[in-house]
């Protein structure tokens, strides 16, 4: 098979039209400064940033906690069902522009409940936008409810049951401040989620140690690890992840912004792929970290001297890891194969 010649310009051209899948995306993390300011004004929410420029300047971070402080402040402007609809539709519009054919979104209901927003308003707005995007743009999606690991785990089961009663939930995740909040704290709610037939994922091995990845696998029985970049510190863990085909949803721009790696050229994505891991690329909180999915793929592969063929591999991995039907996966894989073949024919 002829390989695709690689320069940064050709790589960018290839990736921009490449059919894509996004599996690690926090919908609250797509809140661009323009919408943040507009919603704050519309809803009468007093925030420290009065201009778009001031908000953009605040999107600078030293670690995960400093990011979360800004992230949760931003989420405070989301008050009405239409806010969640507009936020989600804006992201789905970017999906259309970036050739993202399937996406799986996290949302943080505990943050919005603490702000006095009804769960039905949060989920109603998000799910309405997802339905409209599938109808109008043929973008399939799944919604994953995230439990915030720095909160009391006790109310989580009741929250999950309420969300499932409203409908539209495909799975459960675990996010927020990782250090000092091991996955094992949330064993009960993940057990209930499994009994409900929900998919299960968890953030682990970003700032936290490889032991957190083991706990996510063995205690929470997750199907995917979100981030997971510290797995290479534990050879036995790498073997487990490879043998069981456990996907890693890696977010390079996020990892650099939060100082997991000092620069993109030092990221370990290439080593993850070389180790045979089912690694994928995603944008995490793109409004805060400087780029959506295409930008993450182009810049990361370029800085790591990876290729367009690696981009195809990453997207095939993402299709394998996705929570969609086998029929949908086959359709996505056909699109990838046809795109790769047509691009090679142009060379």
| Residue 22 among the catalytic residues | no
CA distance 343 to 305: 20
Dihedral sign of CA atoms 145, 201, 299, 209 in order: positive
Could you tell me what percentage of the chain is helix, strand and coil, using 3-state DSSP and rounding each to the nearest 5?
55, 15, 30
- Choice among 178, 206, 223, 295 that is catalytic: 206
Query: Which of these, 309, 299, 291, 297, lies nearest to 21 by C-alpha position?
Result: 297
DSSP 175-199: ES--TT--GGGGHHHHHHHHHTT-E
Convert 231-262 to b/e letters by CB count within 10 Å (16 or more is b). bbebeebbebbeeeebbbbbbbbbbbbbebbe
Q: SS3 of 151, please?
A: coil
CA distance 165 to 108: 17
Whether 332 and 138 have beta carbons less than 8 Å apart is answered as: no
- Tell whether 26 is in a known binding site: yes
Whether 29 and 203 have beta carbons less than 8 Å apart is answered as: no
- Tell whether 227 is in a known binding site: no
Helices 8-17 and 293-303: crossing angle in degrees, nearest 10, is: 150
Say which residues have a Cβ less than 8 Å from residue 279's Cβ, sequence separation at least 6.
Answer: 247, 248, 250, 269, 272, 273, 314, 317
Say which residues have a Cβ less than 8 Å from residue 174's Cβ, sequence separation at least 6.
Answer: 146, 147, 149, 183, 186, 190, 201, 202, 203, 204, 216, 220
Say which residues have a Cβ less than 8 Å from residue 304's Cβ, sequence separation at least 6.
Answer: 264, 265, 267, 269, 270
CA distance 280 to 209: 20
Q: Just list the catalytic residues.
A: 206
Can you say which residues are annotated as belonging to the binding site for substrate?
Answer: 285
């Amino acid at each position: 098979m002829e390989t695709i010649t690689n320069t940064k310009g050709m790589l960018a051209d290839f990736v921009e039209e490449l059919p894509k899948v996004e599996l690690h995306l926090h919908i609250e993390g797509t809140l661009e400064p323009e919408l943040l300011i507009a919603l704050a004004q519309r809803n009468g929410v007093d925030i420290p940033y009065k201009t778009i420029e001031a908000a953009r300047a605040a999107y600078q971070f030293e670690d995960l906690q400093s990011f979360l402080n800004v992230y949760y402040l931003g989420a405070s402007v989301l008050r009405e069902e239409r806010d969640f609809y507009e936020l989600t539709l804006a992201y789905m519009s970017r999906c259309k522009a970036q050739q993202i054919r399937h996406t799986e979104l996290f949302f943080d209901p505990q943050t919005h409940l603490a702000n006095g927003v009804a769960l039905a308003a949060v989920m109603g707005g998000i799910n309405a936008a997802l339905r409209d995007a599938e109808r109008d743009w043929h973008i399939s999606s799944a919604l994953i409810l995230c439990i915030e690991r720095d909160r009391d785990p006790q109310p989580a089961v009741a929250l999950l049951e309420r969300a499932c009663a409203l409908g539209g939930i495909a799975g459960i995740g675990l996010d927020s401040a990782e250090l000092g909040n091991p996955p094992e704290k949330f064993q009960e709610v993940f057990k209930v989620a499994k009994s409900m037939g929900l998919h299960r994922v968890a953030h682990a091995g970003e700032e936290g140690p490889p032991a957190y990845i083991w706990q996510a696998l063995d205690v929470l029985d997750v199907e995917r690890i979100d981030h997971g970049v510290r797995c290479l510190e534990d050879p036995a863990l790498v073997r487990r992840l490879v043998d069981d085909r456990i996907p890693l949803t890696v977010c390079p721009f996020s990892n650099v912004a939060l100082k997991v790696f000092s620069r993109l050229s030092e990221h370990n994505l290439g080593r993850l792929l070389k180790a045979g891991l089912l690694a994928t690329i995603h944008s995490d909180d793109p409004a805060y970290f400087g780029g959506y999915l295409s930008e993450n793929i182009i810049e990361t592969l370029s800085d790591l001297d990876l290729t367009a063929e690696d981009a195809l591999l990453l997207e095939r991995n993402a299709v394998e890891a996705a929570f969609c039907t086998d029929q949908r996966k086959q359709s996505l894989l056909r699109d990838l194969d046809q795109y790769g073949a047509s691009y090679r024919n142009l060379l």
